[in-house]
Amino acid sequence: MAQYPHVRVFYGSDGLVHFMPFTNAVHNGQYAEKHIGQGLIDFTELDLSEYRLQLDMARGIPLTMERYQEVRNAIYDVAETLNQKHSYVFFFLVGLLNNILKTPIYYKDDIDAEQLKQLAICLAELERIPQLQEVFREAADMCLDRENRPDKIMSERLCAFVAGHPEFGDAAVKMQYAILPKKKGKVDIDTLRDIHDWKLTEQEELLEIMHQDGEGVSLMLYYLIEYLDEMLFFEFTEMLKNGQYVKRCKLCDRYFVLADKRKRDFCERPYKGKRTCRQVGAKLFFEKGIEADAFLQQYLTEYNKVYSRRYRATGKYAVEHSGKDLTEEQFKAWSAVASQARRDYVEGNISGEEMLARVRVD
C-alpha cells in the first residue's frame, strides 16, 4: 500500500510527462513537463545557501526536552526555505518530516528520549538534501553532459559514476498498474483529470466518462514515487534510457535539459529581470562578437582539464590521490569560482585574461 505523500508519474497521450502529487487519498493537483529530467536538473542548480544557514542554526540548538518545540520549529524553518523554489523538493521533504514526527511512540517509559530521537532523525534527513544535490550534480556532470570528458564514451562515464556510488545498485522505483482511460496507447490525461476533479468514484460513472472519448480503458502503467531520492533517481535513469542530455547555458553557465536534437546554447531561466537567457544571450553574444571567442574556448579547455582531475579521483581512497587529483569538495569550490568568472567576463565586467587567471589551477 502506498504511503503518503507520494507522486504518481504518467506519460500522457499529449506527449507530456504528468506528475500528480497526493498528500492523502484525495488527488492534490497536477503539473506537467515537456520532458523528463527538468526537476532533476533544477535540483542540481538549486541555491541552498539559505537552507544551509538555517540548518546550521537548527543544529546549534541543544537537543533537550526544554528546547523541544524550538528545535521542532527550526526544523520546519529549514524546510520552508525551499517552499516554491522547486517543483517537488519541498513537497517530499515536508511530507517526510511530518511522517517522522507523527510516528506513534510505544515506549511509554521513555517517551522523552523517543521524541528527541525523532527530532534527531529529522535533522539527519535535512542534512541529506545537500548530500543528494552533490551526488546528482556529479551524475549530471559525468553521465549527462556530453561536452565533459569527450575522450570518454558515455558508458565509461556511467560505469565510473556507479562505481563511486554503489548505492545506485540497490535503488528502485515502484511501477504500478491501474485501470485508466487510454488514448494513443498512453494515459488519456484530460479524462483522468476530469475523473479526479469531479471526484467520481462509482464504477458506472467512471466507465461512462472513460468511453466518451479516446480508446476506452486499459491497464496502464504509472510510476509511484514516495521519496525525494526515488524521484531524482527516476528522472536520472529515464534521461539515460531516453538518450536525453544536458548542456551548460552559455550565458548563466547553469545546466539545462536538451529537449530535442536542435542546437541550443541558452536556457529559459530568467536573466536579470523578466527576460530569459535565451532571449538575451544570442543578442548579447552577437553584439560582443564572442560566439567563437578564444577566451571562452580556452575556458572550456581549462574546465575539461580540471574536471578530468576530479574524474580521475572518483572511486579512489584519499591515500591513493595523486598531487593532481581533485576531491569532490575541491572541484565544487573551484567550479563555483570558475562559473562566476565566466559570467563576469560575458557581462563585460572583467577581461578575458582575468577570467582565465581565476580559472587556471596549478
Q: What is the mean pLDDT of residues 94-105?
A: 94
| Ranges 16-30, 163-177, 210-224: which has the least confidence | 210-224
Q: What is the pLDDT of residue 144?
A: 92
Q: What is the pLDDT of residue 149?
A: 72
**pLDDT single digits (tens) 111-147:** 899 999 999 999 999 999 999 999 999 999 889 998 8
Q: What is the pLDDT of residue 135?
A: 92
Q: What is the pLDDT of residue 90?
A: 96
Confidence class for position 99, pLDDT limits 50, 70, 90: very high
**pLDDT single digits (tens) 31-85:** 888 888 999 999 999 999 999 999 999 999 999 999 999 999 999 999 999 999 9
Q: What is the pLDDT of residue 86?
A: 93
Among candidate residues 163, 176, 145, 174, the one with its CA nearest the CA of residue 240: 145
Residue 191 has pLDDT above 80, yes or no: no
| Main-chain dihedrals φ then ψ at residue 270, nearest 5 degrees | -60, 140
Q: What is the pLDDT of residue 126?
A: 97
Taking every pair of Cα atoms in the chain, the longest distance, rounded to a whole number of angstroms, is 74
Q: What is the pLDDT of residue 50?
A: 96
Q: What is the pTM of this model?
A: 0.77
**pLDDT single digits (tens) 330-341:** 877 888 888 888
Exposure of 87 in the CB half-sphere (CA atoms within 13 A)? 22
- What span, in angstroms and rounded, lies between the C-alpha atoms of 227 and 5? 8
Average pLDDT, whole number, for the chain? 83
Where do the H-state alpha helices sit in 243-291? 277-288
Taken as a whole, the chain contains a residue count of 362
Q: What is the pLDDT of residue 209?
A: 53
Q: What is the mean pLDDT of residues 153-176?
A: 85
**pLDDT single digits (tens) 282-305:** 777 765 555 446 787 788 778 877
Q: What is the pLDDT of residue 200?
A: 45
Q: What is the pLDDT of residue 63?
A: 95
Q: What is the pLDDT of residue 109?
A: 75
Residue 3 has pLDDT above 90, yes or no: no
- What span, in angstroms and rounded, lies between the C-alpha atoms of 110 and 138? 43
Percent of the chain's residues with pLDDT above 90: 34
Q: What is the pLDDT of residue 96?
A: 96
- What span, in angstroms and rounded, lies between the C-alpha atoms of 51 and 61? 16
Among candidate residues 293, 274, 335, the one with its CA nearest the CA of residue 140: 335
**Cα distances (angstroms) measured from residue 295 to each of 250, 338, 344, 354, 356:** 13, 13, 13, 10, 7
Q: Which helix (H) or strand (E) holds 359?
A: helix 352-359
Give the E-state strand segments of 145-197 in sequence order: 174-183, 186-187
Confidence class for position 94, pLDDT limits 50, 70, 90: very high
Q: What is the mean pLDDT of residues 175-190?
A: 80
**pLDDT single digits (tens) 242-296:** 888 999 888 888 899 987 777 788 888 888 777 888 888 777 776 555 544 678 7
Among candidate residues 90, 89, 110, 240, the one with its CA nearest the CA of residue 162: 240
Residue 324 has pLDDT above 80, yes or no: no
